[in-house]
């Protein structure tokens, strides 16, 4: 799949849709056995890898312009989403029961950008992002990742080998931080350094057209699948946002890379064999950041009527998974259209689209 392939963006959207659907499945706590376990190995890494695949270095542009673009794309939404949740929880405190202590912790967590202060298995911990805003950690992490990778590309004059050396060093720094840092670092700095490898692998696959090569080598794909499944079960459960990597950080990196590559290959296959699935998944995949930041809120809203209807728990969870992405996308489009009508966003300002 080269950059000239018109379907490139579509299959990347499909891969991101697969990732976000697995995120929702895990967060509604629907157990699908191997699907949820193995999906948990790559549902976050695939976003870092696709970000690397779509990354473009524009030598004529300045680093300052690049930073401003990422502030607009990632940092401003991070603050807006968290401000929304802070206001929402404050309203809950005044209208219903709520803990002011939780609110104070969430305000600090808003700035710190992590779910908790110490590793999750700590006997005494401070929990911050507990007001439906925990998924927003990804925005600050991806923001730092873009800035660091762009800086490395500029320092190395876009030399792929030299970039790889920097990325390798950053990964081993992340390993040291994982084992020796007493706290989870703000804005997921440790995860940023770890994810540099995934971002680099995405960039490398784009430049070397690795996926087109793999598609022609089914034995390689089969071997990758076997290694992925083995390392996943051997290494154990992970939670990248909490710096939980199973038995080994290095082994999990291998699992994450293989799982993400397999997800991309599956996405290419879906695009080629099923147009309806392609349309639905690419529609979801274009809005994954919004879905990521809003899905816990929408799920919480859906649980109220579903519980009153006395729908069986399993069926209710399936409904939540199926409708949550479309509620969020539809809501975003309605809000954007209203804001354009009010001339608060650039667009056609009320003209027929």
Q: How confident is the model at residue 102 (pLDDT cuts 50, 70, 90)?
A: confident
Q: DSSP letter at 127?
A: B
Average pLDDT over residues 85-113: 87
Contact indicator for 245, 256 with CB cutoff of 8 Å: no
Q: How confident is the model at residue 345 (pLDDT cuts 50, 70, 90)?
A: low
Higher pLDDT, 49 or 335: 49
- List, for residues 286-321, the tens digit of each pLDDT value: 999 999 999 999 999 999 999 899 889 999 999 999
pLDDT over threshold 60, residue 7: no
Average pLDDT over residues 18-47: 96
Q: How confident is the model at residue 342 (pLDDT cuts 50, 70, 90)?
A: confident
Contact indicator for 265, 218 with CB cutoff of 8 Å: no
Distance from C-alpha of 166 to C-alpha of 149, rounded to nearest angstrom: 9
Quick one: which of 131, 130, 127, 147 has its CA closest to 139? 147
Output the average pLDDT for the chain: 92
The pTM (predicted TM-score) of the whole model is 0.93
């Amino acid at each position: 799949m080269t950059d000239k392939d018109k379907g490139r963006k579509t299959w990347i959207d499909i891969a991101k849709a697969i990732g976000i659907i697995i995120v929702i499945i895990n967060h509604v706590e629907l157990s699908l056995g191997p699907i949820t376990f193995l999906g948990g190995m790559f549902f976050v890494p695939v976003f870092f890898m696709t970000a690397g695949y779509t990354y473009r270095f524009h030598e004529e542009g300045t680093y300052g312009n690049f930073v401003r673009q990422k502030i607009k794309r990632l940092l401003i939404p991070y603050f807006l989403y968290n401000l929304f949740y802070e206001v929402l929880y404050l309203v809950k405190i005044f209208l219903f029961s709520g803990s002011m202590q939780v609110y104070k912790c969430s305000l600090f967590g808003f700035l710190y950008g992590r779910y908790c202060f110490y590793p999750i298995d700590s006997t005494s911990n401070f929990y911050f992002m507990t007001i439906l805003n925990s998924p927003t950690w990804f925005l600050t992490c991806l923001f730092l990742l873009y800035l660091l990778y762009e800086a490395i590309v500029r320092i190395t004059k876009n030399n792929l080998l030299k970039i790889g050396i920097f990325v390798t060093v950053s990964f081993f720094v992340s390993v040291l931080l994982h084992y020796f840092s007493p706290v989870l670092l703000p804005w997921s700095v440790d995860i940023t350094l770890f994810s540099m490898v995934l971002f680099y692998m995405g960039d490398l696959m784009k430049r070397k057209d690795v996926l087109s090569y793999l598609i022609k080598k089914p034995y390689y794909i089969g071997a990758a699948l076997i290694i992925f499944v083995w390392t996943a079960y051997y290494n154990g459960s992970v939670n990248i946002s909490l710096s939980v990597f199973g038995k080994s950080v290095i082994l999990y990196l291998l699992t994450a890379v293989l799982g993400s590559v397999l997800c991309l290959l599956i996405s290419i296959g879906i695009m080629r064999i099923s147009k309806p699935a392609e349309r639905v998944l690419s529609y979801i995949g274009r809005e994954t950041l919004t879905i990521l930041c809003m899905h816990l809120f929408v799920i919480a809203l859906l649980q109220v009527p579903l519980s009153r209807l006395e729908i069986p728990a399993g069926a209710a969870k399936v409904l939540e998974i199926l409708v949550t992405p479309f509620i969020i996308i539809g809501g975003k489009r309605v809000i954007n259209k209203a804001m354009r009508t009010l001339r608060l966003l650039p667009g056609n300002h009320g003209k027929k689209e």
